Amino acid sequence: MKAYIISFIMLLSGINVIGQNSFEYIISTPNNDFGRSGFEGNEYYFSVGSTEYSEETLARATICRYSNENDIFIKKILKNDTTTIFAFGTQKDNGNLLIVGGASDSASIYMRYLYICEMTTDLEVISEKYHFLIPDGYDLFSIYDMVVDNDNHIVLAGHFDNYEGTTGNSLLLGKLDMEGNLLNFNHIESIWFDGVQDADLITKSDANGYYYFNGGSYELVELNNDLEYVGASNIIDPPHYLGSNVSAKYLPNGNLAFVSQSDYDTSYYDLHLQIFTSDLECIYDTVIMEEGRQSPALFKGIDYVDPENIWVVAHNDWVAPTGTEIYKIYLFDSQFNVKGSKYYGGDTRYDFYHLLATQDGGCLLTGNIKQEQGTMLRDIFIKKVMPEDVLTGNEEKVFSDLKDVLVYPNPFSDRIYFKTDRENLTFTLYNSNGQIVYKSDIAANRMNEINTSSFSPGYYIYSITNSNGKAIDGGKLLKK
């Protein structure tokens, strides 16, 4: 590898301190900046990513250190004739940081080496390691997932490809110790699953291996602690399934909570919430319907410290973005009941890669924001919110005609819930023949409930109208 040059750069194009423990940062250069993930240390938060390749410079690994005190510090790793990126990180027991990413072996934009960097919390580089993993027939790799397992080892999942992008399915698996040494490596080729960025890797609750969810035609790939293939299957019987951009999190009772992007006939591209037992039996399945294409954060979209405060974020996943996309942050209890939610954005495009629940009860988001209209360039976007930010119920809506009544679950069985902070609204439910089966005024700022146990299975239409009788919201619901 080439000798490295370290550059300290402060690149803040915008800072907004929202509250005592809430804030957001926009970190910009003239090139594409990508925020890939965040993690929490003993004193600081950290977000990692890269400034991407341009005609003038190769990609540079980027790490941001910050706290609630509005004191962000940014460092970029510049190497002569070498591309670097950071993907994930963690703080070691000795207080140092261990960052995982990739590096090229020439003036190339492609990742050829697994790049491991140990730093102090002052972002001084202590050591670097490079591991060449690429098997014959492949030219490059990507890292999409990282977990720290019960043995305090780092486990990675990703994908191998060639320069032409013509290879088939290829799941990359690697295990490192906290010194950055490569302990184990495996490469699995299968027509049924692949290393993809919208899958999710987790450690099994019994510490006897790992689950890899939704990496292809099979919804589950099981691996042992040596990263060897154990089996693969579709774990869910119709009508249940795992959606795209899936993230999983164990609950304290051993159940698994999932968030993904729905593809049900009644709710394309909405927020999909599920709970499975430890035996992978689906016991809860619902969809929260919102305007547009809703997607959870790509690498990790669900997290908690307190299981009664589960954080989820959903951003607009438009094929052709308008530049005025919104995103919504949710707070759920352990049964996936909505405790609070709030819209943000509406001024540009937002894409989130990583959600982290913080030890103070908050939620840290790492992703990207569009630089300006008329360009596809991105800036790193970091946002931290606290429960009171989404529980206050006094938010200003981004658009005057925005759907702002939360109606769930969908499909439903014996209850429908709906909530809004707007006054003077009416909820009306119609059966498939257009007959009114329920109508009532909506009590603002509290959860409203309908007992639907006597309703026949099938499709229903709901409508939300204001005091002038104008419909401001509506949708289709399915009674199971």
Domain ranges (residues) in the chain? 4-404, 415-479
Q: Which pTM does this prediction carry?
A: 0.80
| Alpha-carbon gap, residue 180 to 363, rounded angstroms | 28
Query: Do residues 78 and 6 lie in contact, with contact meaning Cβ atoms separated by under 8 Å?
Result: yes
State the virtual CA torsion across 151, 154, 159, 162 in degrees, nearest 10.
-130
Query: Do residues 247 and 296 lie in contact, with contact meaning Cβ atoms separated by under 8 Å?
Result: yes
CATH 1.10.10, applies to 415-479: no
| DSSP structural state of residue 388 | H
416: tokens are 């429908």
Strand partners of residue 131: 114
pLDDT at 29 (0 to 100):
76
Average pLDDT over residues 18-23: 65
Question: pLDDT tens digits for 98-135?
Answer: 999 999 877 677 889 999 999 999 999 999 999 999 99
pLDDT at 206 (0 to 100):
93
Measured from the Cβ of residue 364, the count of other Cβ atoms closer than 10 Å reads: 23
pLDDT at 358 (0 to 100):
96
CA pseudo-torsion sign 65, 198, 263, 258? negative
How are the residues of the chain apportioned to helix, strand and coil, as percentages rounded to the nearest 5?
0, 55, 45
| Alpha-carbon gap, residue 297 to 301, rounded angstroms | 4
Coil, strand, or helix at residue 259?
strand
Query: Do residues 464 and 405 lie in contact, with contact meaning Cβ atoms separated by under 8 Å?
Result: yes
pLDDT at 399 (0 to 100):
39
- Percentage of residues in the chain with pLDDT exceeding 70? 85
Domain 4-404: assigned CATH number: 2.130.10.10
453: tokens are 């146990």
Q: Alpha carbon of 38 to those of 45, 91, 201: distances in Å?
A: 7, 11, 17
Measured from the Cβ of residue 462, the count of other Cβ atoms closer than 10 Å reads: 21
Question: pLDDT tens digits for 345-372?
Answer: 877 888 999 999 999 999 999 999 887 6
Closest CA to 28 of 55, 57, 51, 58: 51
Q: Alpha carbon of 247 to those of 201, 297, 330, 371, 451: distances in Å?
A: 8, 8, 15, 28, 31
Measured from the Cβ of residue 268, the count of other Cβ atoms closer than 10 Å reads: 13
To which H or E segment does residue 389 belong? helix 387-391
- The strands making up 448-451's β-sheet, listed across from edge to edge, are 406-408, 415-419, 448-451
4: tokens are 């490295």
- 411 CB-side CA count, 13 A: 17
Question: Distance between the two ends of the chain, CA-based, in angstroms?
Answer: 60
pLDDT at 69 (0 to 100):
62
pLDDT at 372 (0 to 100):
67
| Alpha-carbon gap, residue 129 to 113, rounded angstroms | 9
| Alpha-carbon gap, residue 472 to 425, rounded angstroms | 9
300 burial type by CB count under 10 A (0-12 exposed, 13-18 middle, 19+ buried)? buried
Question: pLDDT tens digits for 388-439?
Answer: 888 854 444 443 444 457 788 888 889 998 888 788 899 989 887 668 899 9
Closest CA to 91 of 49, 38, 47, 41: 41
Rank 19-23, 175-179, 416-420, 472-476 by mean pLDDT and report only the highest: 175-179
| Alpha-carbon gap, residue 62 to 353, rounded angstroms | 15
pLDDT at 402 (0 to 100):
44
Q: What integer best gives the mean pLDDT of the chain? A: 85
Closest CA to 80 of 166, 159, 1, 184: 1
